[in-house]
Amino acid sequence: MEQLRKGLEELKPSNYLALHALPGYGKSTLVSETLQDDDLATDLFQKEMYWIKFGSEQSVAENILTQLNMLFHRVRNLDLLTEPTSEDSLKYFLRHHFSKHNHALLILDDVNRREIIEAFDFGCKTLVLTTDTDILRGKKCDIIEMNEGFTPKESLALFAKAIGVDASELPKQARQIHEECKGMPLMIAMFSAQFEDVKESLIEGDKRADTWSYYLDALKKKKSAVLQESLDKLKAIFEMCINKLSKDEIHYYETFAIFPEDC
């Protein structure tokens, strides 16, 4: 967090700061926590911050137009009811706005295409959360790498908190689970949530060792190439959590849907 704070303090209008890590390494969480500091947000950005989350459901061109529109409405403080305007006029308006508000912070979350960087180049301060820093080639950009994940101590503290025991009481499998996950925050958080649900069987009883081994073995079964490995393991954790649901819960899970506000 200190490194991010420092990077934000040194970030100048027109320049970029990139947080670089694989998905699930805590980029969005870290930014959100850092920007909750009111003093920092006021001193550096006069509280003008626009968080734009890019999804992968749309084509890049559609994504850009949708997000330019949303930004335009947020900047103008309008409801999202008016008809979309053309891409050029949106960019013209936003460039004009940010030329007078170049202290503002634009947060481009989950951006992996250069076209998006170009479309949102408005001369203000820009923070980019990405898995690929090549998209910022040629821009004035500082990069913060965050592929470290949690330390064993941090992972064990989260497991212990979820189960309600002291970290020293955790069995060796807990540490091995951390190692298999390489401390990836998303995986550790998912395990913690799962452990909270089954905490009794992880603390006591004849099956205690078997329960811990069940989780460890589910992870170990997935052995593959380096980058794919994290994703496969993530899938294994999802499957493992789903397999532990009751019949009713599985039904809820399968019929669960989220409707974003602008649908």
Query: Residue 31 CB: number of other CB atoms within 10 A?
Result: 21
Q: Which does 136 bind (CB under 5 to 8 A by kind): ligand ADP, Mg ion, none?
A: none
- With contact defined as beta carbons under 8 Å apart, do 68 and 87 qualify? yes
Q: Which stretch binds ligand ADP (CB under 6 A): 16-24, 38-46, 70-78, 112-120?
A: 16-24
Residues numbered 212 to 251 that lie near ligand ADP (CB under 6 A) are: none
In the complex with ligand ADP, which residue's Cβ is closer, 75 or 157? Answer: 157
Query: Residue 36 CB: number of other CB atoms within 10 A?
Result: 9
Vertex 157 angle, CA 152 and 158, to 5°: 105
Q: Is the dihedral of CA 32, 77, 112, 24 positive or negative?
A: positive
Tokens (6 digits) for 3: 């490194």
Q: Which stretch binds Mg ion (CB under 5 A): 24-32, 36-44, 57-65, 94-102?
A: 24-32
27 contacts ligand ADP (rule: CB under 6 A): yes
Phi, psi dihedrals of residue 154, rounded to the nearest 5°? -65, -45
Strand order in the sheet with 16-20: 49-53, 105-109, 125-130, 16-20, 141-145
* Minimum gap (Å) between residue 20 Cβ and Mg ion: 12
186 contacts ligand ADP (rule: CB under 6 A): yes
- Which listed residue (3, 6, 12, 29) binds ligand ADP by CB under 6 A? 29
28 contacts Mg ion (rule: CB under 5 A): yes
- Which listed residue (28, 85, 112, 133) binds ligand ADP by CB under 6 A? 28
- Which listed residue (16, 25, 54, 159) binds ligand ADP by CB under 6 A? 25
In the complex with ligand ADP, which residue's Cβ is closer, 192 or 213? Answer: 192
Q: Which stretch binds ligand ADP (CB under 6 A): 5-13, 24-32, 59-67, 204-212?
A: 24-32
* Minimum gap (Å) between residue 22 Cβ and ligand ADP: 7
149 contacts ligand ADP (rule: CB under 6 A): no
* Minimum gap (Å) between residue 247 Cβ and ligand ADP: 27
- With contact defined as beta carbons under 8 Å apart, do 139 and 13 qualify? no
Q: Which does 94 bind (CB under 5 to 8 A by kind): ligand ADP, Mg ion, none?
A: none
- Which listed residue (8, 11, 18, 21) binds ligand ADP by CB under 6 A? 21
24 contacts ligand ADP (rule: CB under 6 A): yes
The number of residues in the chain equals: 263
Site residues (vs ligand ADP, CB under 6 A) = 21, 23-29, 185-186, 189
Site residues (vs Mg ion, CB under 5 A) = 28
